[in-house]
Amino acid sequence: MPKLSKIEQTEFLKEPGVLMRIGVTQEDGAPLVTPIWFLYQEADIWFTPRHRSAWFGCITADPRVSLCIDEDALPYRKVLVQGVAECVHEVGMDDLWRSTYLEMATKYVGARGAERYIADTIDQPRALFRVKLSAAKVSSWRMPVAGEPGMGIWAKRYYEPGTEF
């Protein structure tokens, strides 16, 4: 499949409404995947676990994460990240990064909705985390678009020997 160009990847990661699924490891070793809001800023992925969320405890104990950012409609763009989450602001320091949270919420529910959402949840402490893409393993792909060949789009390792294109 074609990889997203840097420009395509940046545009996709900034698109309103696209959710991210974060995968963390639970104490018993089982995976936990949660769909969440995120913000792509400064070439990093930013996100905010609530203090009482299950995955906050997991990410605090083991900061290794898998991130999946994808879409349900053609061209099925996907960005996958394996990296380490860094806590930038601990729980309870929300006032220091409220503008970042407002920007993140606006991406999903618009300006009025974001102001209302923050007002309704301002007393619920969160932390601010990021994954530096420059230090992570990042892969991306999409289905072919107009003018690109539709056959042979998978990585060669997926095809049986002798497959002709």
Q: Are 115 and 99 in contact (CB under 8 A)?
A: no
pLDDT the model gives residue 16: 96
Range of the domain at 38: 6-158
Predicted confidence (pLDDT) per residue in 72-103, tens digit: 998 899 999 999 999 999 998 988 999 999 99
Phi, psi of 150 (to 5 degrees): -95, -15
Instruction: Measure the CA–CA gap between 113 and 135, rounded to whole angstroms.
Output: 34
Number of domains in the chain: 1
Percent of the chain with pLDDT strictly greater than 90? 78
Is 28 domain-assigned?
Answer: yes
Is 135 domain-assigned?
Answer: yes
Domain of 52, CATH number, reads 2.30.110.10
Buried b (16+ CB within 10 A) or exposed e, 113-127: ebeebbeeeeeeebb
Is 33 domain-assigned?
Answer: yes
pLDDT the model gives residue 152: 64
Predicted confidence (pLDDT) per residue in 35-55, tens digit: 999 999 999 999 999 999 999
Is 164 domain-assigned?
Answer: no
More confident residue, 158 or 125: 125
A 10 A CB-CB count for 95 gives 8
